[in-house]
Amino acid sequence: MGSLTGKTALVTGASRGIGRAIAERLGREGALVAVHYASNTEAAEHTVKSVVASGGRAFAVPADFGTAGAVDTLFDGVRTGLREHTGAAELDILVNNAGIMGGVAPEELTPDTFDRMMAVNARAPLFAVQRALPMMPDGGRIINISSALTRMALPQEVAYAMSKAAVEMISLHFAQHLGSRGITVNTVAPGVTDNGSEMLRNPEVRAALAGTTAFGRIGEPADVADVVAFLASSDGRWITGGWLDASGGTLLGTSAR
Catalytic residues: 160
State the binding string over 104-143 for ligand NAP (x if CB under 6 A, else -): ----------------x-----------------------
CB atoms under 10 Å from CB of 167, counted, come to 23
Task: Give the burial string for 126-149 (b: 16+ CB within 10 Å, else e).
Answer: bbbbebbbebbeeebbbbbbbbbb
State the binding string over 224-253 for ligand NAP (x if CB under 6 A, else -): ------------------------------
Helix and strand counts by DSSP (H, E) for the chain: 8, 7
Return the range that interacts with ligand NAP (CB under 6 A); candidates 2-10, 35-43, 49-57, 80-88.
Answer: 35-43
Are the CB atoms for 225 and 17 separated by under 8 Å? no
* Rounded Cα gap, residues 82 and 4, in angstroms: 16
Residue from 10, 13, 78, 236 that binds ligand NAP (CB under 6 A)? Answer: 13
| Closest listed residue to residue 189, CA positions, set 242, 115, 114 | 242
* Rounded Cα gap, residues 178 and 172, in angstroms: 11
Q: How far is the CB of 53 from ligand NAP (least distance, A)?
A: 19
State the binding string over 51-80 for ligand NAP (x if CB under 6 A, else -): -------------xxx--------------
Residues of the shown chain interacting with ligand NAP in the complex, contacts defined by CB under 6 A: 13-19, 37-40, 43, 64-66, 97-100, 120, 145, 147, 190-193, 195
